[in-house]
Amino acid sequence: MFIAKEKKKTNIAEYILYMWQVEDLIRAFAFDSKSLCDKLFINQDLKEEAKKDLYYWYENLAEMMKIEQVKDKGHVQVVQNIVNELTEIHFNLLYEKKDPKYGQLVFESANNLVEFRKKSNISNDISDVELALNALYGVLILKLKHQEISKQTIKAVDGFSKILSYLSLKYKELENQDLQDL
Protein backbone atom coordinates (compact mmCIF):
# COMPACT_ATOMS: atom_id res chain seq x y z
CA MET A 1 0.00 0.00 0.00
CA PHE A 2 2.74 2.44 0.97
CA ILE A 3 4.86 1.45 -2.03
CA ALA A 4 1.83 1.60 -4.33
CA LYS A 5 0.99 5.14 -3.20
CA GLU A 6 4.55 6.31 -3.76
CA LYS A 7 4.86 4.65 -7.17
CA LYS A 8 1.51 6.07 -8.27
CA LYS A 9 2.82 9.56 -7.51
CA THR A 10 6.24 9.13 -9.10
CA ASN A 11 6.04 6.63 -11.99
CA ILE A 12 2.69 5.29 -13.19
CA ALA A 13 4.24 2.45 -15.23
CA GLU A 14 6.06 1.19 -12.13
CA TYR A 15 2.79 1.48 -10.24
CA ILE A 16 1.04 -0.74 -12.79
CA LEU A 17 3.81 -3.35 -12.62
CA TYR A 18 3.76 -3.23 -8.83
CA MET A 19 0.00 -3.71 -8.75
CA TRP A 20 0.26 -6.67 -11.14
CA GLN A 21 2.80 -8.18 -8.77
CA VAL A 22 0.47 -7.60 -5.81
CA GLU A 23 -2.39 -9.26 -7.71
CA ASP A 24 -0.15 -12.29 -8.30
CA LEU A 25 0.85 -12.31 -4.63
CA ILE A 26 -2.80 -12.35 -3.60
CA ARG A 27 -3.40 -15.25 -6.00
CA ALA A 28 -0.35 -17.10 -4.63
CA PHE A 29 -1.76 -16.78 -1.11
CA ALA A 30 -5.17 -18.04 -2.31
CA PHE A 31 -6.80 -14.72 -1.39
CA ASP A 32 -5.89 -15.18 2.29
CA SER A 33 -4.90 -11.62 3.22
CA LYS A 34 -4.03 -12.51 6.79
CA SER A 35 -1.49 -15.16 5.75
CA LEU A 36 -0.10 -12.83 3.11
CA CYS A 37 0.36 -9.98 5.57
CA ASP A 38 1.79 -12.28 8.24
CA LYS A 39 4.38 -13.57 5.77
CA LEU A 40 5.24 -10.23 4.17
CA PHE A 41 5.50 -8.16 7.31
CA ILE A 42 6.87 -10.63 9.86
CA ASN A 43 10.24 -8.85 10.11
CA GLN A 44 8.97 -5.33 9.60
CA ASP A 45 8.70 -2.94 12.50
CA LEU A 46 5.26 -1.53 11.75
CA LYS A 47 2.85 0.11 14.12
CA GLU A 48 -0.41 -1.73 14.68
CA GLU A 49 -2.35 0.94 12.81
CA ALA A 50 -0.09 0.54 9.75
CA LYS A 51 -0.45 -3.26 9.90
CA LYS A 52 -4.21 -2.90 10.06
CA ASP A 53 -4.22 -0.48 7.11
CA LEU A 54 -2.08 -2.87 5.07
CA TYR A 55 -4.29 -5.82 5.90
CA TYR A 56 -7.42 -3.95 4.81
CA TRP A 57 -5.71 -2.74 1.65
CA TYR A 58 -4.81 -6.31 0.65
CA GLU A 59 -8.22 -7.55 1.75
CA ASN A 60 -10.03 -4.90 -0.31
CA LEU A 61 -7.90 -5.61 -3.36
CA ALA A 62 -8.54 -9.36 -2.99
CA GLU A 63 -12.26 -8.70 -2.74
CA MET A 64 -12.14 -6.46 -5.79
CA MET A 65 -10.38 -9.23 -7.72
CA LYS A 66 -13.10 -11.69 -6.75
CA ILE A 67 -15.93 -9.32 -7.66
CA GLU A 68 -14.33 -8.42 -10.99
CA GLN A 69 -13.66 -12.10 -11.70
CA VAL A 70 -9.91 -11.81 -12.10
CA LYS A 71 -9.11 -14.49 -9.56
CA ASP A 72 -7.10 -16.60 -12.00
CA LYS A 73 -5.82 -14.03 -14.47
CA GLY A 74 -6.34 -10.47 -15.56
CA HIS A 75 -6.21 -7.21 -13.65
CA VAL A 76 -8.58 -5.15 -11.57
CA GLN A 77 -10.37 -2.47 -13.56
CA VAL A 78 -8.86 0.44 -11.64
CA VAL A 79 -5.38 -0.63 -12.80
CA GLN A 80 -6.58 -1.53 -16.30
CA ASN A 81 -8.06 1.96 -16.58
CA ILE A 82 -4.60 3.44 -16.06
CA VAL A 83 -3.19 1.15 -18.76
CA ASN A 84 -5.96 2.44 -21.02
CA GLU A 85 -5.09 6.04 -20.15
CA LEU A 86 -1.45 5.40 -21.04
CA THR A 87 -2.61 3.88 -24.32
CA GLU A 88 -4.62 7.04 -25.06
CA ILE A 89 -1.56 9.16 -24.33
CA HIS A 90 0.48 6.85 -26.60
CA PHE A 91 -1.90 7.39 -29.52
CA ASN A 92 -2.16 11.11 -28.80
CA LEU A 93 1.62 11.52 -28.87
CA LEU A 94 1.98 9.49 -32.05
CA TYR A 95 -0.95 10.68 -34.14
CA GLU A 96 -2.27 13.98 -32.82
CA LYS A 97 0.72 15.76 -31.36
CA LYS A 98 3.18 13.84 -33.52
CA ASP A 99 5.78 14.07 -30.77
CA PRO A 100 9.09 13.40 -32.59
CA LYS A 101 10.97 12.15 -29.54
CA TYR A 102 8.22 9.70 -28.63
CA GLY A 103 7.81 8.67 -32.25
CA GLN A 104 11.51 7.82 -32.38
CA LEU A 105 11.28 5.70 -29.20
CA VAL A 106 8.36 3.75 -30.62
CA PHE A 107 10.05 3.38 -34.01
CA GLU A 108 13.22 2.01 -32.37
CA SER A 109 11.16 -0.61 -30.51
CA ALA A 110 8.64 -1.45 -33.23
CA ASN A 111 10.34 -4.65 -34.41
CA ASN A 112 10.78 -5.85 -30.83
CA LEU A 113 7.11 -5.17 -30.08
CA VAL A 114 6.06 -7.17 -33.14
CA GLU A 115 8.45 -10.00 -32.24
CA PHE A 116 7.30 -10.10 -28.61
CA ARG A 117 3.64 -10.11 -29.67
CA LYS A 118 4.32 -13.02 -32.01
CA LYS A 119 6.42 -15.06 -29.55
CA SER A 120 3.96 -14.49 -26.71
CA ASN A 121 0.94 -15.20 -28.90
CA ILE A 122 -0.70 -11.97 -27.72
CA SER A 123 -3.60 -10.78 -29.85
CA ASN A 124 -3.66 -7.49 -31.68
CA ASP A 125 -6.46 -6.40 -29.32
CA ILE A 126 -3.79 -5.70 -26.72
CA SER A 127 -2.22 -2.27 -27.19
CA ASP A 128 1.51 -1.81 -27.66
CA VAL A 129 1.57 -0.09 -24.27
CA GLU A 130 0.07 -3.10 -22.50
CA LEU A 131 2.33 -5.35 -24.56
CA ALA A 132 5.40 -3.44 -23.35
CA LEU A 133 4.14 -3.65 -19.77
CA ASN A 134 3.64 -7.41 -20.18
CA ALA A 135 7.21 -7.76 -21.44
CA LEU A 136 8.62 -5.82 -18.50
CA TYR A 137 6.52 -7.81 -16.07
CA GLY A 138 7.71 -11.06 -17.63
CA VAL A 139 11.34 -10.01 -17.23
CA LEU A 140 10.64 -9.01 -13.62
CA ILE A 141 9.26 -12.49 -12.94
CA LEU A 142 12.27 -14.12 -14.62
CA LYS A 143 14.60 -12.03 -12.44
CA LEU A 144 12.69 -13.01 -9.30
CA LYS A 145 13.09 -16.66 -10.31
CA HIS A 146 16.80 -16.07 -10.97
CA GLN A 147 16.41 -17.25 -14.55
CA GLU A 148 18.73 -16.20 -17.34
CA ILE A 149 17.58 -13.41 -19.62
CA SER A 150 19.08 -13.12 -23.09
CA LYS A 151 20.94 -10.00 -24.19
CA GLN A 152 18.39 -9.55 -26.98
CA THR A 153 15.53 -9.58 -24.46
CA ILE A 154 17.34 -7.11 -22.21
CA LYS A 155 17.89 -4.78 -25.19
CA ALA A 156 14.24 -5.06 -26.25
CA VAL A 157 12.96 -4.45 -22.74
CA ASP A 158 15.26 -1.44 -22.41
CA GLY A 159 13.48 0.09 -25.41
CA PHE A 160 10.09 -0.73 -23.88
CA SER A 161 11.22 0.87 -20.63
CA LYS A 162 12.10 4.08 -22.46
CA ILE A 163 8.64 4.18 -24.03
CA LEU A 164 6.94 3.58 -20.70
CA SER A 165 9.14 6.13 -18.92
CA TYR A 166 8.20 8.75 -21.49
CA LEU A 167 4.52 7.88 -21.17
CA SER A 168 4.79 8.03 -17.37
CA LEU A 169 6.31 11.47 -17.59
CA LYS A 170 3.53 12.66 -19.90
CA TYR A 171 0.92 11.07 -17.64
CA LYS A 172 2.30 12.98 -14.67
CA GLU A 173 2.40 16.23 -16.67
CA LEU A 174 -1.26 15.78 -17.65
CA GLU A 175 -2.20 14.93 -14.08
CA ASN A 176 -0.45 18.06 -12.78
CA GLN A 177 -2.10 20.14 -15.49
CA ASP A 178 -5.53 18.79 -14.50
CA LEU A 179 -4.85 19.71 -10.87
CA GLN A 180 -3.89 23.24 -11.88
CA ASP A 181 -7.11 23.58 -13.86
CA LEU A 182 -9.24 22.93 -10.76
Q: What is the domain partition of the chain in residue ranges?
A: 2-67, 77-181
Tell me what the mean pLDDT of segment 31-49 comes to: 82
pLDDT higher than threshold 70 for residue 180: no
The pTM of this model reads 0.92
Q: Name the residue among 182, 168, 9, 181 with its Cα closest to residue 89.
A: 168
Q: Count helices and strands (H / E) in the chain.
A: 8, 0
Q: Report the chain's terminal Cα–Cα distance, integer Å.
A: 27
CB 136 within 8 A of CB 157: yes
Q: What is the mean pLDDT of the chain?
A: 92
Q: Distance (Å, rounded) from C-alpha 7 to C-alpha 9? A: 5
